[in-house]
């Protein structure tokens, strides 16, 4: 049995979740579910990032204190994740006392190790990014991501000696080629390190909404510097060394590509400065785009898109929870950018879900009802579908291990396709009740059983429903799949139920 500690970025609690935040969260959830299915001991962490200028501004604009505001918004994230069936084990808020304790402890170690010093900082700041830009990196004085004017800031701050870690980071990357995936994103991080690292300002005196600096109470930590440490708070850094020793070497951060620099440069350097190995692995996802632009809250606020079009709960009402999850996992490789469009959700739904999966389950349950008196026949040992099932299982397992839900689902759908083709060739619906039809349906039911197991990380609700319809007890998510998803495990005899269509077709506008 392995261990798998998966984290999402902690989302800014300045505004409600949108489908971009749901994208990373659903992917992390499916990966967590796969690893539980594989029999691993899993810890899945998500949460909200609640400090910083942006939060203080959003609270003031809405007439609340920062704490009142983040209480409300953080709750909206929990609600959205509950609707989306996100199986997190821990939800962290950076305003919790446990986080303050870990941040102060971790940063005191770095301070004592001599990597923090004081100086004056001057630069161009983007409040939406909570980040400084050099004039060269800016877009003519504007933020290259938000296209809003950058503000000149000058502060006496505490600094982290990031420049001291250039060589050690390069060494670490060389020794750990799988630290950042995919390769293109690893190269981006490496290019950044090789371009030369400047020390970073890690505290603020301009705001009070943050974690106080233990050795200088006039300052609070800069929001990014406190946020990254959440990954250690959740495993008890400073409180429980055993927990850290168990989980940290098995840590996987899933992040969006705009925060590579923080997670792949700053964060490993911070860990090194504190005498801790960096996280085990960072996987970088691309962006969901609308009209080529990153889909997000700022965009909605600027009127670029209709907020209701990107609100996850509204989308689940329109398409269903599992179909939305399926779309987010299946449409784009986790690492690439992809255009988000309601028409593509409809197309995926009608093709993959209604025509392929839904149709397969409907056909099989209907024929078993009419030709086998609704009792599931047992599978045969040497069915031609056996090979298709074994190869789908193997393909899916490798893909999930590689952080490639899209490929895992393609592999799963290859078994759905093979089973539909098998049924079309043999046309059991034309056969008389008897041994022949029993043999075909026993094999088709076995293929569907394995499909239900393989789709369960992506569509947990649908998988349970299929399980029930093909007359099985227990759950498709019972681990470990290596024993469970093997051809010939079911003995037959269950009561098969014909239900309403799993995925009623959606009429598209065209
Ligand atoms: O950056 N496409 O929080 P955030 C894909 N608080 N993923 C998207 C997306 C899109 N259009 N929009 C957002 C922060 N995301 C910090 C993180 S971690 C220590 C601190 C996802 O609310 C993606 O994972 O801006 C991105 O990295 C994250 O949401 C940013 O969320």
**In this structure, which long-range contacts are made by residues 163-167, counting pairs with CB atoms below 8 Å and at least 24 apart in sequence?**
163/196, 163/197, 163/198, 163/199, 164/115, 165/197, 165/268, 165/269, 165/272, 165/273, 166/193, 166/196, 166/197
Q: Domain check: are 378 and 266 in the same one?
A: no
Q: Which of the four pLDDT bands, split at 50, 70 and 90, describes residue 135? A: confident
Distance CA 372, CA 468 (A): 17
Instruction: Name the residue with the closest Cα to ligand 1, atom 27.
Output: 256
Instruction: Name the residue with the closest Cα to ligand 1, atom 14.
Output: 11
Give the strands of the sheet with 216-221, arranged side by side: 203-204, 216-221, 212-213
Q: Domain check: are 115 and 152 in the same one?
A: yes
74 C-alpha vs ligand 1 centroid, how far in Å? Answer: 15
- Is 111 inside any structural domain? yes
Q: Which atom of ligand 1 is nearest to the CA of 288?
A: 2
Is a pLDDT exceeding 90 seen at residue 280? Answer: yes
Mean pLDDT of 20-45: 97
What mean pLDDT value characterizes the chain? 94
Distance CA 129, CA 106 (A): 24
Is a pLDDT exceeding 90 seen at residue 310? Answer: no
∠ CA 288-315-290 to the nearest 5 degrees?
Answer: 25
Mean pLDDT of 418-423: 98
Is a pLDDT exceeding 60 seen at residue 261? Answer: yes
For a mutational test of ligand 1's pocket, the pick from 7, 14, 17, 21, i.e. the residue with the most ligand atoms closer than 8 A to its C-beta, is: 21
pLDDT in tens, 64-84: 999 999 999 999 999 999 999
Q: Domain check: are 157 and 285 in the same one?
A: yes
Q: Which of the four pLDDT bands, split at 50, 70 and 90, describes residue 305? A: low
pLDDT in tens, 359-383: 999 999 999 999 999 999 999 989 9
What pLDDT does 123 receive?
A: 86
Give the helix, strand, coil percentages of the chain, each rounded to 5. 50, 15, 35
- Is 325 inside any structural domain? no
Q: Domain check: are 77 and 224 in the same one?
A: yes
The residue assigned the tokens 């799988």 is 178
Q: Are strands 251-256 and 3-7 parallel, antiparallel or unpaired?
A: parallel
80 C-alpha vs ligand 1 centroid, how far in Å? Answer: 15
Nearby residues of 87 by Cβ (< 8 Å), 6 or more positions away: 29, 32, 33, 36, 44, 460
Q: Which residues of 447-461 are buried (b: 16+ CB within 10 A; e: fewer)?
A: bbbbbbbbbbbbbbe
Q: Which of the four pLDDT bands, split at 50, 70 and 90, describes residue 302? A: low
Instruction: Name the residue with the closest Cα to ligand 1, atom 26.
Output: 256
Mean pLDDT of 42-63: 94
131 C-alpha vs ligand 1 centroid, how far in Å? Answer: 14
Mean pLDDT of 141-164: 91
- Is 327 inside any structural domain? no
Q: Which of 428, 468, 461, 462 is nearest to 353 (CA)?
A: 462
Worst-scoring range by mean pLDDT, 140-149, 240-249, 441-450? Answer: 140-149
Q: Per the structure block, which two tokens stand in for 347? A: 């197309």
Q: Per the structure block, which two tokens stand in for 406? A: 């899209």
Distance CA 245, CA 272 (A): 16
20 C-alpha vs ligand 1 centroid, how far in Å? Answer: 7
Instruction: Name the residue with the closest Cα to ligand 1, atom 10.
Output: 20
Q: Domain check: are 204 and 275 in the same one?
A: yes
Q: Per the structure block, which two tokens stand in for 417? A: 């396709």
Share of the chain above pLDDT 70, in %: 97
Q: Which of the four pLDDT bands, split at 50, 70 and 90, describes residue 131? A: confident
What pLDDT does 455 receive?
A: 98
346 C-alpha vs ligand 1 centroid, how far in Å? Answer: 25
10 C-alpha vs ligand 1 centroid, how far in Å? Answer: 8
Nearby residues of 401 by Cβ (< 8 Å), 6 or more positions away: none
Domain that holds residue 433: 342-484
Instruction: Name the residue with the closest Cα to ligand 1, atom 18.
Output: 9
Q: Which of the four pLDDT bands, split at 50, 70 and 90, describes residue 298? A: low
Q: Which atom of ligand 1 is nearest to the CA of 286?
A: 5
Q: Domain check: are 141 and 239 in the same one?
A: yes
Q: Domain check: are 221 and 254 in the same one?
A: yes
- Is 508 inside any structural domain? no
Q: Is the bond leading into 116 cis (omega within 30 degrees of zero)?
A: no
What lines the ligand 1 site, CB under 6 Å? Answer: 9-12, 20-21, 23-24, 49, 227-228, 230, 255-256, 259, 285, 287-288, 294-296
> Quick check: pTM over 0.75?
yes
Instruction: Name the residue with the closest Cα to ligand 1, atom 3.
Output: 11
């Amino acid at each position: 049995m392995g261990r798998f500690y998966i984290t999402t970025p902690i989302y800014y609690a300045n505004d409600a979740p949108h489908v971009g935040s749901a994208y990373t969260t659903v992917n992390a959830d499916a990966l967590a579910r796969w690893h539980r299915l594989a029999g691993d001991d899993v810890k899945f962490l998500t949460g909200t990032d609640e400090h910083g200028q942006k939060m203080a501004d959003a609270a003031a604009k809405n007439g609340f204190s920062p704490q009142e505001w983040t209480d409300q918004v953080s709750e909206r994230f929990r609600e959205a994740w509950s609707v989306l069936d996100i199986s997190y084990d821990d939800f962290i808020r950076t305003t919790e006392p446990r986080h303050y304790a870990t941040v102060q402890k971790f940063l005191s170690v770095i301070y004592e190790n001599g990597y923090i010093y004081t100086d004056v900082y001057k630069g161009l700041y983007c409040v939406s990014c909570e980040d400084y830009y050099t004039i060269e990196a800016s877009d003519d004085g504007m933020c290259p991501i938000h296209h809003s004017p950058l503000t000149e800031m000058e502060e006496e701050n505490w600094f982290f000696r990031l420049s001291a870690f250039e060589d050690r980071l390069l060494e670490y990357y060389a020794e750990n080629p799988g630290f950042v995936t995919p390769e293109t994103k690893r190269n981006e991080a490496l290019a950044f390190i090789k371009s030369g690292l400047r020390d970073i300002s890690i505290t603020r005196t301009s705001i009070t909404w943050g974690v106080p600096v233990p050795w200088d109470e006039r300052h609070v930590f800069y929001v990014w510097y406190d946020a990254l440490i959440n990954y250690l708070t959740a495993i008890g850094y400073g409180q429980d060394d055993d927990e850290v020793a168990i989980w940290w070497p098995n840590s996987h951060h899933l992040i969006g590509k705009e925060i590579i620099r923080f997670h792949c440069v700053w964060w490993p350097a911070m860990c090194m400065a504190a005498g801790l190995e960096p996280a085990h692995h960072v996987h970088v996802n691309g962006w969901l785009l609308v009209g080529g632009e990153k889909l997000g809250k700022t965009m909605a606020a600027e009127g670029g898109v209709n907020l209701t079009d990107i609100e996850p709960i509204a989308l689940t009402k329109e398409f269903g929870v599992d179909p939305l999850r399926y779309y987010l996992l299946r449409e784009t490789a986790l690492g690439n950018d992809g255009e988000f469009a309601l028409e593509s959700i409809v197309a995926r739904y009608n093709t993959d879900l209604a025509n392929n999966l839904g149709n397969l389950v409907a056909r099989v349950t209907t024929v078993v009802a009419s030709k086998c008196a609704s009792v599931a026949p047992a599978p045969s040992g040497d069915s031609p579908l056996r090979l298709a099932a074994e190869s789908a299982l193997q393909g899916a397992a490798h893909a999930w291990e590689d952080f490639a839900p899209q490929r895992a689902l393609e592999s799963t759908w290859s078994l759905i396709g093979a089973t539909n083709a098998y049924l079309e060739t043999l046309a059991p619906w034309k056969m008389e009740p008897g041994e022949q039809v029993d043999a075909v349906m026993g094999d088709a039911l076995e293929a569907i059983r394995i499909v239900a197991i393989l789709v369960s990380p992506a569509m947990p609700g649908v998988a349970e429903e299929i399980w029930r319809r093909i007359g099985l007890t227990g759950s498709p998510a019972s681990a470990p799949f290596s024993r469970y998803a093997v051809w010939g495990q079911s003995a037959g005899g269950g009561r098969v139920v014909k239900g309403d269509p799993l995925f009623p077709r959606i009429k598209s506008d065209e």
